[in-house]
Chains A and B, each alone.
Chain A
């Protein structure tokens, strides 16, 4: 990620991690001026009304990603619930 972004680019980490990491490329981070952002656990209350308005307006269709309900092999490889 750090090498893939442009100089002064941004890297956001929403994936769940715990503990430490080794071999971190601090050189690339500093020399390229990359902003590395730990996004933290999502503040659900902050966004859910905003997101609901996207759904109401039809701008975002979450049912695309509700996959296991339909159970096809392709969907099985994508769905989590």
Chain B
């Protein structure tokens, strides 16, 4: 992929080898002594479940981008949606597990403030209460960058994209969306 070989991933479509079963109840794992992690008896299945995907992914985003003590971190977690028309796509991820977990990791790594950006009231409430972070509802504050600079004078230290930050804001953008040019996110890169 893109000039080099990548690993084969379970459940990541033919993009990475076409191996089904990433989230299956049972899966046959090759090279099991390397690719399996023994789970101690005192750890429940629910506690261990996300170790295969969600936790390393969210942890990696925080560690790899270099969240340090005292940093102010913004987490982009919204999905494909249109604050203007209210049309939403089924591809919603929102302040989902990756974003919520990244927020928690960022706090564990010493971030002084974490701001989650989403538009779903339930998710924002969950993030505020359970993850203990500040939130920004971009259906109210459409100019996310402006609002963030009000909240954090000078700007964020770190921004993490933990969703697909396609926010459709104009007719031009909708036409690109219809033409399947999803990644022509002209306005969002300015946010």
> Any chain B CB within 8 A of the CB of A3?
yes
* Residues of the B chain whose Cβ atoms lie less than 8 Å from the Cβ of A10: 65-66, 157-159
The one of A4, A12, A18, A37 that contacts B148, using a Cβ cutoff of 8 Å: A4
Min C-beta distance of A74 to chain B, whole Å = 5
> Any chain B CB within 8 A of the CB of A13?
yes
Instruction: Assess whether B161 is in contact with A1, with CB atoms less than 8 Å apart.
Output: yes
* Contacts known (A11-B161, A51-B59, A52-B43); A6 close to B37, Cβ less than 8 A: no
The count of residues in chain A whose C-beta lies closer than 8 Å to any C-beta of chain B is: 59
* Residues of the A chain whose Cβ atoms lie less than 8 Å from the Cβ of B39: 52
A28 to B187, CA, bound (A): 13
* Contacts known (A66-B49, A69-B46, A80-B97); A25 close to B59, Cβ less than 8 A: no
Instruction: Assess whether A5 is in contact with B164, with CB atoms less than 8 Å apart.
Output: no
A67 to B97, CA, bound (A): 9
* Contacts known (A1-B76, A3-B145, A56-B40); A14 close to B55, Cβ less than 8 A: no
* Residues of the A chain whose Cβ atoms lie less than 8 Å from the Cβ of B95: 78
Instruction: Assess whether A18 is in contact with B15, with CB atoms less than 8 Å apart.
Output: yes
> Any chain A CB within 8 A of the CB of B54?
yes
A15 to B98, CA, bound (A): 9
Instruction: Assess whether B104 is in contact with A78, with CB atoms less than 8 Å apart.
Output: no
Instruction: Compute the total of residue contacts between A and B using a CB distance below 8 Å.
Output: 202
| Nearest CB in chain A to that of B185: its residue | A21
* Contacts known (A23-B186, A41-B6); A11 close to B159, Cβ less than 8 A: yes
* Residues of the A chain whose Cβ atoms lie less than 8 Å from the Cβ of B81: none
Instruction: Assess whether A23 is in contact with B158, with CB atoms less than 8 Å apart.
Output: no
Min C-beta distance of A64 to chain B, whole Å = 5
The one of B47, B155, B176 that contacts A4, using a Cβ cutoff of 8 Å: B155
> Any chain A CB within 8 A of the CB of B29?
no
A61 to B181, CA, bound (A): 38
Q: List 17 A-B contacts (CB under 8 A).
A: A1-B74, A1-B159, A4-B191, A7-B155, A11-B160, A12-B161, A15-B76, A21-B185, A23-B189, A39-B65, A42-B57, A43-B56, A52-B43, A66-B50, A77-B120, A80-B96, A81-B23
Which residues in A have some Cβ–Cβ distance to B below 8 Å? 1-7, 9-25, 28, 37, 39-52, 54-56, 59-66, 69, 73-74, 77-81
- Beyond the given pairs A7-B155, A11-B65, A62-B101, 18 more chain A to chain B contacts, judged by CB atoms under 8 angstroms and listed by A's residue number, are A3-B190, A9-B156, A13-B161, A21-B185, A22-B186, A23-B189, A39-B64, A48-B52, A52-B39, A52-B43, A54-B108, A55-B43, A59-B108, A60-B55, A60-B108, A65-B54, A65-B97, A78-B123
